[in-house]
């Protein structure tokens, strides 16, 4: 399923505290600099409409969250959602996630990386554009703190299986797949809008969670 058109963002909403562009930052800089306190930091790759950022930041006020979104109109929409919620522990960056991970994330510092329903790039010649590639996974392992988590969900079985093969090949993560899903009725119970659409259409979601440093998970 592709992305649907977005509603207009209210032009009266001030986005300055929530929306940033990766191209505006120069080295040395890290996403920790967006917050005025020391706290665990979690990164979402491909934030879409910002449902995960807003709901999770609201639920976990002691942690900080940064989303990276390559499509500007979605980054702006996510920022407006955060602004309406009045959240101080979540920000959205417009830019390339690969550049963020390679150039701006410090080693052994990130509490979790979330990748939900990334673009599968269906055509064979385009699959090299997938975010779940060898270099990205190497960077994820580098930036995660001890016991840090990688969450990867998709509705594309082939993408899921190929990504798990890459995780096994290029990282030393331990993890689980086939995670049980909760019965969801309300939007707050879905991690993303894409999960909501997928499950309401009775389509399967493939879920995995991995941890750094060989910490085994129990279903």
How far is residue 195's CA from residue 31's CA, in Å, rounded to a whole number?
Answer: 26
Domains recognised in the chain with CATH numbers? 19-214 (3.40.50.150)
> Quick one: which of 71, 79, 64 has its CA closest to 20?
79
* Single pTM value for the model: 0.86
How far is residue 117's CA from residue 127's CA, in Å, rounded to a whole number?
Answer: 15
Cβ of 201: how many Cβ atoms within 10 Å? 9
pLDDT at 201: 54
pLDDT at 28: 87
How far is residue 86's CA from residue 91's CA, in Å, rounded to a whole number?
Answer: 11
CA distances from 168 to 88, 172, 176 (A): 36, 7, 12
DSSP H/E element including 196: helix 193-200
Active site residue 119: yes
Cβ of 97: how many Cβ atoms within 10 Å? 24
Catalytic residue among 24, 27, 119, 139: 119
Do residues 92 and 69 lie in contact, with contact meaning Cβ atoms separated by under 8 Å?
Answer: yes
SS3 189: helix
pLDDT in single tens digits along all 219 residues of the chain: 555 678 888 888 999 999 999 999 988 899 999 999 999 999 999 999 999 999 999 999 999 999 999 999 999 999 999 999 999 999 999 999 999 999 999 999 999 999 999 999 888 888 899 999 999 999 999 999 999 999 999 999 999 999 999 999 999 999 876 555 554 443 444 555 555 555 555 668 898 999 997 444 433
pLDDT at 4: 63
pLDDT at 202: 60
CA 84 to chain centre: 20
């Amino acid at each position: 399923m592709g992305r649907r058109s977005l509603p207009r963002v209210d032009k009266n909403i001030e986005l300055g505290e929530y929306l940033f562009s990766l191209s505006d930052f120069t080295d040395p800089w890290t996403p920790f600099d967006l917050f005025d306190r020391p706290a665990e930091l979690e990164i979402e790759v491909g934030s879409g409409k910002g449902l995960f950022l807003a709901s999770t930041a609201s639920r976990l006020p002691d942690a900080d969250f940064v989303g990276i979104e390559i499509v500007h109109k979605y980054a702006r929409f996510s920022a407006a959602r955060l602004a309406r919620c009045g959240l101080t522990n979540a920000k959205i960056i417009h830019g390339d996630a690969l550049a963020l991970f390679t150039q701006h994330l410090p080693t052994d510092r990130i509490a979790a990386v979330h990748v939900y329903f990334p673009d599968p790039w269906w055509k064979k010649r385009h699959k090299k554009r997938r975010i779940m590639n060898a270099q990205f996974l190497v960077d994820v392992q580098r930036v995660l703190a001890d016991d840090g988590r990688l969450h990867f969900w998709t509705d594309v079985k082939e993408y899921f299986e190929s990504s798990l093969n890459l995780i096994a090949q290029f990282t030393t993560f331990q993890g689980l797949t086939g995670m049980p899903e909760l019965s969801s009725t309300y939007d707050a119970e879905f991690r993303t809008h894409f999960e909501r659409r997928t499950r309401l259409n009775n389509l399967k979601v493939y879920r995995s969670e991995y941890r750094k440093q060989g910490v085994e998970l129990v279903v």
